[in-house]
Amino acid sequence: MTISLTWDAYDLHGWEQFSLTVRHELIHAWQYHEFGEADHGRTFERWIDALDTTQHCERFTSPTGG
């Protein structure tokens, strides 16, 4: 699993949106570490409020980087 965060995304979307995305992606990293996969299901939903993020966030780029 690879999570890529770029200065371009930060510059384009600003701190509020970017930090929301970082927290969102941290949940996926934890899921992958604990379960070997990541999704937006029940284990994800458990962390939304604690990390002050959303279940879905704006995509900055395609999953393949293009």
In contact, 16 and 23? CB cutoff 8 Å: no
Cα–Cα–Cα angle for 33, 38, 40, rounded to 5 degrees: 135
pLDDT, tens digit, 9 for 90 and up, residues 14-62: 999 999 999 999 999 999 999 999 999 999 999 999 999 999 877 766 6
For residue 42 the two structure tokens come to 């029940």
- Cα 22 to Cα 47: distance, rounded to the nearest angstrom: 13
Q: What is the DSSP string of 2-29?
A: -----HHHHHHHHHHHHHHHHHHHHHHH
pTM, 2 dp: 0.81
